[in-house]
Chains A and B, each alone.
Chain A
């Protein structure tokens, strides 16, 4: 299947700093990518839909100024957690459908710990 690469896999940062997470589709072009957040033993909560060349669409309750999304090319979307706080510690995972409304391929996820 198609490959989606997410980097970094783990990051520890200090409160108040910003962290950038990259999501790349390695062998296909993704006009849309999705960003999820997953707490331990819980489901994946959709945070936002990243659209190449346009603004991201955020789910209700997700602060767009807190979680900055950029989708500047057909193979790369980035999520930047700004002014991170300990409550932002979580597992962040991206996905990209190979074609619209078909199976989504997930990145490996990023474990963010804010200390």
Chain B
């Protein structure tokens, strides 16, 4: 079954504050992806991490893949109201080709 957990489940921040969501898997992952889903919408791909310890940046977003390839994080610097949505990690196990989604973190940004 799916065993990818994310914390926190919900996060409310003031606009301009930073935000971080953490993704943890019970098993080693081949790679990990991050998606953003707006209310009423479908998940939209943000990034994929493959290498142990990898760090990637997209403007105000920083993504990390843990050394053991069991955890990952997404950090948003100086949040904006457009960052509102639910952020999901999705892990690909070393066996198989299915991605399992994390439990998600719902971000609310207060103007």
Question: B69-111 toward A: CB 8 Å interface, digit per residue (1/0)?
Answer: 0000000000000000000101010000111111110100000
Report the separation of the CA atoms of residues A34 and B92 in the bound assembly, to the nearest whole angstrom. Answer: 13
Complex Cα distance, B90 from A87, in Å, reads 26
Cross-interface CB contact of A101 among B1, B97, B104, B106, cutoff 8 Å: B97
Nearest 8 CB-CB pairings of A with B: A103-B45, A106-B42, A44-B101, A43-B104, A43-B103, A43-B101, A106-B43, A109-B42
Is residue B48 contacting chain A, with contact meaning CB distance below 8 A?
Answer: yes
Interface residues on A, range: 20 to 34
Chain A: minimal CB distance from B8 (Å)? 14
B interface vs A, CB < 8 Å? 1-2, 30-31, 33, 42-45, 48, 88, 90, 92, 97-104, 106
> Contact partner of A107 among B42, B102, B103, B104, CB < 8 A?
B42
A105 contacts B by Cβ under 8 Å: yes
* CB pairs A–B below 8 angstroms (21 shown): A1-B45, A41-B106, A42-B104, A44-B88, A44-B101, A45-B2, A46-B100, A46-B101, A49-B98, A59-B1, A93-B42, A93-B43, A101-B31, A101-B97, A102-B48, A103-B48, A104-B90, A105-B45, A106-B44, A107-B42, A109-B42
A65 to chain B, nearest CB (A): 20
* Chain A residues within CB distance 8 Å of chain B: 1, 32, 34, 36, 41-46, 49, 57, 59-61, 93, 95, 100-109
Q: Which residues of B contact A93 (CB under 8 A)?
A: 42-43
With A and B bound together, what is the CA distance between A35 and B31 in angstroms? 20
Q: B residues within 8 A CB of A95?
A: 43
B81 to chain A, nearest CB (A): 20
Of the candidates A42, A46, A107, the one whose C-beta lies within 8 Å of that of B98 is A46
